[in-house]
Amino acid sequence: MASQLDIPCLDCRNPAGIDDRPYVLLCGNQLQLQATGRKAPGPVTVDFVGGALAHRRKYGGGKGQQIAKAVGIRSGFYPRVVDATAGLGRDAFVLASLGCDVMMLERNRVVRALLADGLRRLGEAAETDRELAEIASRLHLCETDISAVDWLAQQAAESLPVVYLDPMFPERGKSAKVKKEMAAFHQLVGGDEDADALLEPAFAACYYRTVVKRPRLAPLLAGKKPSLSLEGKSGRFDIYTKHGIPH
């Protein structure tokens, strides 16, 4: 794995005793991204089976969720979605659990390895859980280093029903405080400084709409005004529509 990801293999060292690297990958029953040092917070992993995503799958509000409205889900219509900035795959899993077929793009090799490990464990759990099996069949990972901008630019015009974008927004000020356990992830990924370049190829490739998830007070992606926005307490969905959703 170290060879595949082009990172050094540190063998069996305790992350608490490492001070020359900010984070490490721990291999075991599940792949974990762990910050180093004595007071480091807990690890980051992709868990599509339990934890917060299991709770949201069961009690999250179904088609009434803003993300469902944003991508255009309605009874009998579950568009295919390309999540071009998958990250830890949480929104992609929610969309798959709601009935959409979702392709995840993630350019960071380490994050992509975390996603692949999460999908592996989802597949194992799906062997004895019909609901998870249906979700697993709709959730896919693009195994390539190509950037989302280049991948989208290679797609035929209007060939993707919905493109979903959630670029990492550079955190500033007090609102910049991220959950401690996510510190290593943010340090690894950083802010998507080239995020503005995503909108044009995404909109060219989509048929129905491109959806951009942003912090509530963040500027518009690429400065482009959306067709409409859905705003929540801490975030919003900017929706750039092309063709109408079928009724």
| 135, amino acid identity | I
Q: Check pLDDT > 80 for residue 171.
A: no
pLDDT in tens, 12-39: 889 999 988 888 999 989 999 998 988 8
Half-sphere exposure of 34 (CA within 13 A, CB side): 21
SS3 139: strand
Tokens representing 156? 């035929």
Q: Is 90 annotated as a binding residue?
A: yes
- Tally Cβ neighbours within 10 Å of residue 78: 20
Q: Is 209 annotated as a binding residue?
A: no
What was the pLDDT predicted at 191? Answer: 67
pLDDT band at 173 (very low <50, low <70, confident <90, very high): very low
Domain boundaries, the chain: 46-241
Q: Is 166 annotated as a binding residue?
A: yes
CA distance 99 to 73: 8
CA distance 240 to 247: 18
Residue 38, judged by CB atoms within 10 A of its CB (0-12, 13-18, 19+), counts as exposed
Q: Is 13 annotated as a binding residue?
A: no
Tokens representing 107? 């350019």
CA distance 80 to 197: 22
Residue 229, judged by CB atoms within 10 A of its CB (0-12, 13-18, 19+), counts as middle
CA distance 59 to 153: 37
- Domain 46-241 of CATH type 3.60.20.30: no
CA angle in degrees (0–180, nearest 5) for 228-232-233 = 150
Q: Is 106 annotated as a binding residue?
A: yes
- Strand partners of residue 103: 82, 140
| 105, amino acid identity | L
- Tally Cβ neighbours within 10 Å of residue 176: 10
pLDDT in tens, 61-119: 788 899 999 999 999 999 999 999 999 999 999 999 999 999 999 999 999 999 999 99
